[in-house]
């Protein structure tokens, strides 16, 4: 989302002007990009902050019954606003499939989604009147908080991880694409296969295990932690080195080549897995955010029906 090309808008702030060359061009990369978080000069964050402050002041200073805040006029109002806001926020899922510019551009919509979503913490919690218990009402609140916190996590991930993702893709030879990562591994595997032909059966089996292991293997835990205990390539490299220690050095030892190739494969795998880990974190929050949103809408419906059912 952070990389969605947007129509030229006013830059958030004017960067210091670097020394101009005679051509009039500068070395400084000028960007007109403005992230969705600060869209239109942070219009939505300001609006949300103002509303949150106003609501908290209202909660403190409006004389209301000390108990059952949810059933006071302010409580009902906050509840209605909160429920409608939840439905509107959910609509981003549909809205995001249509990228449009303008006043109600997708970026504006996303900016509003993020900051009004954060505002929902204040609305929902004040609606609860801080009366929590083991019931459907607190369940709806808890689900709402899970959705919002996962959303905040997602925004943080979008703000920080793409940079790490790019950094991981660049090396001395330039950038590498996802497709190229696979191709590189395939090439290394082919070379390993050829280089391992002269090896005895024990060593060949070790290399074979490395070849047979799917580079995309691993559970969600492995994917998100980037830790792959029992990785066949690393085991093969380590075991081959251990075996070689006790052998006499000979010229043109095929193990030399295999070892070098395994080292390169390990490095390539490490980069691929770092890439997978970062991409995993970029995506994982949505696996919480989206299902929990629907769980929230269901629990919210139960909450509303229950209030009127046992009126």
Partner 1 sequence: MSFVVRQIALKSSGEEIVRRSVVDSDVLVIGRDASSGIHLPDLAVDPRHARISALEADRLLIESIGEQPFIVNGRSATSAKLDLAAGAELGFGGHRITLAREAESGLPTFTVRRVEAVSESAEAIDIGSAYTLQKLLPGKRLSAWAFAALMLIAFLAVPIWSWATYAPLALQKDARRPAGIHGDTAWSSGKLSLAHKNLDNDCQACHVQPFVAVRDNACMTCHEDDAHQHIADGARLMKARGEPAGFAGFQRAVANAFNRPAGRCVECHTEHEGAGAMPATRQQFCTDCHDGLKTRLSDTKIADAADFGTAHPQFRPMLVSGVAADGKPVLQRAVWNNGLKENTGLKFTHAQHLSKTNGIAQMVRRRPGEFAANDAGPRDGLGCKDCHQTDSGGARFKPVEMEQACQSCHSLTFDQIGGTFRTLRHGQPEQVVADLRAAYRGSVPPRPASLSGMARRIPGAAAQQSTAADYARAVRFYPVKADQAVAAVFSKGGMCYDCHAVTRGGSAATGGFSLQPVAQNGRYYNKGWFDHKDHRKSDCASCHVKAATSNDADAVLVPGIDGAGGCRSCHVGEGGAKLASAHVKEPVASGCAMCHEYHMDNGAPWKPADKRKGPGLLTAVWDTGRSWPRHPPTAR
Q: How far is the CB of 127 from partner 1 (least distance, A)?
A: 12
201-209: long-range pairs with CB below 8 Å, 24+: 202/243, 203/240, 203/243, 203/255, 203/258, 206/235, 206/236, 206/239, 206/240, 207/236, 207/240, 207/258, 207/262, 209/235, 209/236
Q: How far is the CB of 290 from partner 1 (least distance, A)?
A: 4
Q: Decide whether 26 or 301 has the Cβ nearer to partner 1.
A: 301
Q: Is 174 helix (H, G, I), strand (E, B) or coil?
A: strand
Sign of CA dihedral 115, 120, 126, 130: negative
Q: How far is the CB of 16 from partner 1 (least distance, A)?
A: 38
Q: Decide whether 156 or 283 has the Cβ nearer to partner 1.
A: 283
Q: Which residues bind partner 1 (CB under 8 A)?
A: 65-68, 70, 73, 131, 133-137, 139, 178-179, 182, 185-186, 189-190, 192-194, 196-197, 199-201, 204-205, 207-208, 211-216, 219-220, 223, 275-276, 279-280, 283-284, 286-287, 290-295, 297-299, 301-303, 305-306, 308-311
Q: How far is the CB of 275 from partner 1 (least distance, A)?
A: 7
- How many other CB atoms are there within 10 angstroms of residue 281's CB atom? 20
Q: Decide whether 11 or 230 has the Cβ nearer to partner 1.
A: 230
d(CA 41, CA 62): 32
* DSSP-assigned letter for residue 36: G
Q: Decide whether 174 or 309 has the Cβ nearer to partner 1.
A: 309
DSSP 67-124: S-GGGSHHHHHHHHHHHHHHHHHHTHHHHTTS---STT-HHHHHHHHHHHHHHHHHHH
Q: Decide whether 20 or 186 has the Cβ nearer to partner 1.
A: 186
E strands, the chain, in order: 170-171, 174-175
Q: Decide whether 35 or 70 has the Cβ nearer to partner 1.
A: 70
């Amino acid at each position: 989302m952070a990389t969605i090309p947007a129509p030229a808008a006013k830059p958030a702030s004017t960067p210091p002007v670097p020394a101009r060359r005679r051509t009039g061009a500068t070395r400084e990369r000028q960007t007109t990009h403005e992230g969705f978080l600060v869209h239109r000069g942070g219009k939505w964050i300001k609006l949300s902050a103002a509303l949150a402050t106003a609501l908290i002041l209202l909660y403190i200073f409006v004389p209301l019954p000390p108990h059952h805040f949810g059933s006071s006029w302010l409580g009902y109002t906050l509840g209605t606003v909160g429920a409608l806001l939840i439905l509107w926020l959910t609509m981003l899922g549909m809205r995001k499939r249509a990228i449009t510019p303008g006043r109600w551009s997708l970026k504006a919509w996303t900016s509003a989604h993020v900051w009004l979503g954060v505002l929902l913490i204040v609305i929902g919690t004040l609606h609860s009147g801080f009366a929590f218990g083991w019931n459907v009402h607190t369940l709806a609140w808890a689900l709402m908080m899970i959705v919002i916190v996962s959303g905040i996590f997602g925004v943080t991930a979008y703000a920080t991880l793409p940079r790490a993702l790019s950094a991981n893709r660049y090396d001395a030879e330039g950038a590498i694409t996802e497709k190229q990562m696979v191709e590189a591994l395939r090439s290394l595997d082919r070379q390993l296969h050829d280089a391992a032909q002269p090896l005895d059966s024990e060593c060949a089996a070790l290399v074979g295990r490395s070849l047979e292991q799917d580079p995309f293997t691993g559970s969600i835990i492995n994917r998100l932690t980037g830790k792959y205990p029992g990785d066949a390539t690393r085991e093969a490299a380590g075991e081959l080195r251990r075996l070689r220690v006790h052998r006499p050095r000979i010229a043109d030892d095929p193990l030399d080549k295999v070892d070098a190739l395994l080292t390169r494969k390990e490095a390539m795998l490490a980069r691929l897995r770092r890439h997978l880990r970062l991409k995993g974190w970029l995506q994982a929050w949505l696996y919480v955010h989206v299902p929990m949103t629907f769980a929230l809408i269901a629990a919210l419906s139960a909450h509303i029906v229950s209030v009127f059912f046992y009126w």
